[in-house]
């Protein structure tokens, strides 16, 4: 995936791709924006990943998160979707995102009737 990403980066930018465990990013360089898109649900320690990402933001940087929500308003279909993604080792990280947002105020949005939880958390 990183090789494909590198091919798409214009040569005159400051975008860098690194391979690292998200729980302990292997660079000391700060970031102005970090995007976690449907990835926390696949990670064993989402709260640690969120804190690590937040700790690597510059002053005024932004952590943007999109992940599975609770799907509470989906009724039976939400239960089926939750079961299906759980069969594939996906565990919605919405509770961890909400807990993190209590300590680091930002903006949370439930979209698509709660299927997606979006968060924008400034440093």
User: What's the rounded Cα separation, in Å, for the pair 40 and 43?
Assistant: 5
Domains annotated for the chain, with CATH where assigned, are 28-122 (3.40.50.150)
- The per-residue pLDDT of the chain, averaged, comes to 91
Tell me the pTM: 0.83
Confidence band of 19 (pLDDT split at 50, 70, 90): confident
| Residue 13 near residue 41, CB atoms below 8 Å | no
Q: Which residues pair with 31 in a beta bridge?
A: 57
pLDDT tens for residues 51-80? 999 999 999 999 999 999 988 889 999 899
User: What's the rounded Cα separation, in Å, for the pair 64 and 1?
Assistant: 20
């Amino acid at each position: 995936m990183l090789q494909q990403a590198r091919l798409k980066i214009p040569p005159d930018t400051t975008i860098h791709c690194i391979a690292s465990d998200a729980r302990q990013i292997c660079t000391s360089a700060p970031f102005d924006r970090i995007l976690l898109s449907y990835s926390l649900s696949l990670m064993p320690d989402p709260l640690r990943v969120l804190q690590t990402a937040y700790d690597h933001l510059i002053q005024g940087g932004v952590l943007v998160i999109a992940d599975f929500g609770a799907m509470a308003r989906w009724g039976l279909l939400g239960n089926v979707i939750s079961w299906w993604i759980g069969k594939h080792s996906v565990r919605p990280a919405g509770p961890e995102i909400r807990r993190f947002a209590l300590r680091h105020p930002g903006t949370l949005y439930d979209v698509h009737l709660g299927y997606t939880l979006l968060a924008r958390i400034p440093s």
